[in-house]
Amino acid sequence: PRIEAIELRRIEVPLVRPFETSFGRETVREALLVRVRTDAGDGWGECVAGRDPFYSSEYVGGAASVIERYLAPALLDAPAAGAAHAEPAGDARAVGVPLAASVAPALAFVSGHRMAKGAIEAAVLDAELRAQGRSMGEAFGAVRDWVDCGVSVGISPTLEELLDEVTGYLEEGYRRIKLKIKPGWDLVPVAAVRELMGPGGLLQVDANTAYTADDIPLLASLDPFGLLLIEQPFAEEDLATHALLASACETPVCLDESILDAATAVDAIERGATSVVNIKPGRMGGYLEALRVHDACRALDVPVWCGGMLETGIGRAANVALAALPGFVLPGDTSASSRYYADDVTEPFVLGTGEHSGQLRVPGGPGTGVAVREELVREWASAEAVVLA
Ligand code: OSB
Ligand code: MG
């Protein structure tokens, strides 16, 4: 197939409750959706950048701009896949998606902007797989039909509200709780939630870079709470302090922001800075690089889990497919749509019941396997659609 047009659609979707992290508080998800039109049909992708450059240097306005000015023109001017851009060698699972595999090499001339690149690649992958009648799970190498789901719980105004929120999620069936922490909101909420869950409940924390090396003793004092992992306590660039913490505490250290691609994942593992990896495809430039990170971690026996960025159903569908790979041995931040949104731009993801309580089913239809409700994309638009052709 050939890419004929790339459309940028910005939407605002209200969150069912504010989501507060060490870097800010959001009440609305400002999402950037990308629709790719090919001669073999359309595909949708979701950019994981936030409204502001706080979690990452990328943000929605910057991603839209770099796509409009650099990325889309490069793809629209490129010859059909297979001609100029051969499929990268040695990448077993990209076989069969030559157009999607041609995207990253064609965009490599732009430095960084992985979230923007990843959104385009996801849309191309969706279009290409739909044209082939193959699901993302099948293309990625899924080994299960249902994935274990955790939930990421924001910083609360009070301990009481936190415990109410966590209680609700446990009643819904979530298999793991992740607490957002920051200096001043760490030991006390962790102790309270551990008490609520009992010793066997799966519990982990995410600091989103809010701590410094001076906090190593404090973070090590979380050890008695039996956490699954501590996610990204220090700055994105600072592998050394993560390695210091790892040698000073029992709780596994897990990197999120620092993992830019398979090479940085392997480097961080070899340096002892991470012993578990949060895989967020959007942060790594797309699902094909996420597969490489998965494979590299698996080869090193490092467990991975699927992160999330408050995705709408478009990004969620692809994340759930990815989380069905064998190396994803911990529950992901792949929560049901209702944890975020009263209404979604696709059919909602709903937790299973019975033996599938706390799980989401991997979509089986072609591409992402979900349908985009275009009337909602129009209704929720926060900017004019941009069509690049
Ligand atoms: O650090 O994992 C993170 C959301 C936005 C930005 C960063 C993060 C998060 C989450 C939410 O933790 C995960 C989810 O989508 O449920
Ligand atoms: Mg994180």
Closest C-alpha among 366, 333, 80, 13 to residue 205: 333
Residue 43 pLDDT greater than 70, yes or no:
yes
Contact 227, 235 (CB under 8 A): no
335 Cβ closer than 6 Å to some ligand 1 atom: yes
159-186 per-position pLDDT tens digit: 999 999 999 999 999 999 999 999 999 9
Q: Decide if 65 is inside a domain.
A: yes
- Whether residues 52 and 147 share a domain: the answer is no
CA distance 161 to 167: 10
Average pLDDT for residues 103-123, to the nearest whole number? 97
Whole-number Å distance between alpha carbons of 280 and 139: 18
Domain for residue 368, yes or no?
no
Any domain includes 63: yes
Q: What is the CATH number of the domain that holds 77?
A: 3.30.390.10
Alpha carbon nearest to ligand 1 atom 7, residue: 309
Q: How far apart are CA 64 and CA 36, in angstroms?
A: 14
Name which of 269, 261, 331, 264 is nearest 299 in CA terms.
Answer: 269
Asked if the structure places residue 115 within a domain, the reply is yes
- Over residues 79-96, the pLDDT tens digits come to 655 444 444 545 656 679
- Three-state helix/strand/coil letters over 210-276: CCCHHHHHHHHCCHHHCCCCEECCCCCCCHHHHHHHHHHCCCCEEECCCCCCHHHHHHHHHCCCCCE
Query: Do residues 282 and 345 share a domain?
Result: yes
Q: CATH number for the domain including 305?
A: 3.20.20.120
**Residue keyed to tokens 């100029």:** 84
Asked if 45 and 165 sit in the same domain, the reply is: no
Please tell me if the CB atom of residue 310 comes closer than 6 angstroms to any atom of ligand 1.
yes
**Residue closest to 285 by CA, chosen among 71, 133, 139:** 71
In this prediction, residue 78 carries a pLDDT of 74
Q: CA dihedral in degrees (122, 128, 133, 134; nearest 10)?
A: -50
Ligand 1 centroid, distance to 359 Cα (angstroms): 18
Q: Which atom of ligand 1 is nearest to the CA of 309?
A: 15
Q: Domain count of the chain?
A: 2
Ligand 1, residues 21, 22, 284: which to mutate, most atoms within 8 A of Cβ? 21
Task: For helices 262-270 and 239-248, give the axis angle rounded to 10 degrees.
Answer: 40
Range of the domain at 148: 139-361
333 lines ligand 1 (CB under 6 A): yes
Ligand 1 atom at minimal distance to the Cα of residue 231 = 1
CB 258 within 8 A of CB 273: yes
| pLDDT given for residue 389 in this prediction | 96
Say if residue 343 is in the same domain as residue 214: yes
Are 34 and 17 part of one and the same domain?
Answer: yes
Q: Are residues 36 and 92 in the same domain?
A: yes
Atom of ligand 1 nearest to the CA of 178: 12
Do 38 and 155 reside in the same domain of the chain? Answer: no
Looking at residue 94, what is its pLDDT?
A: 62
Q: 367 lies in a domain? A: no
Q: What is the pLDDT of residues 357-369, one digit of tens each?
A: 999 999 999 999 9
Specify whether 182 is catalytic. no
The closest ligand to the CA of 333 turns out to be 1
Q: How far is the CA of 51 from the centre of ligand 1 (A)?
A: 13
Is the shortest distance between the CB of 334 and ligand 1 below 6 Å? no
Say if residue 286 is in the same domain as residue 382: no
Whether the model clears a pTM of 0.80, i.e. scores above it, the answer is yes
Q: Do 165 and 218 share a domain, yes or no? A: yes
Residues 77 and 202 in one domain: no
In this prediction, residues 348-361 reach a mean pLDDT of 98
Average pLDDT, the chain: 95
Task: For CA atoms 315, 317, 320, 321, give the dihedral sign.
Answer: negative
With respect to residue 295, please indicate whether it lies within any of the assigned structural domains: yes
Query: Average pLDDT, stretch 59-88?
Result: 81
Let me know if residue 377 belongs to a domain.
yes
Looking at residue 282, the DSSP 8-state letter turns out to be: G
253 and 381 together in one domain: no
One domain for residues 194 and 317:
yes
Residues 6+ apart with CB under 8 A from 367: 43, 125, 126, 127, 129, 130, 134, 135, 136
117 is annotated as an active-site residue: no
Q: Is residue 114 part of a domain?
A: yes
Residue 308 Cβ contacting ligand 1 at under 6 Å: yes
Ligand 2 centre distance from Cα of residue 275 (Å): 15
Helix, coil or strand: residue 348: coil
Would you say 314 and 346 are in contact if contact means Cβ atoms under 8 Å apart?
Answer: yes
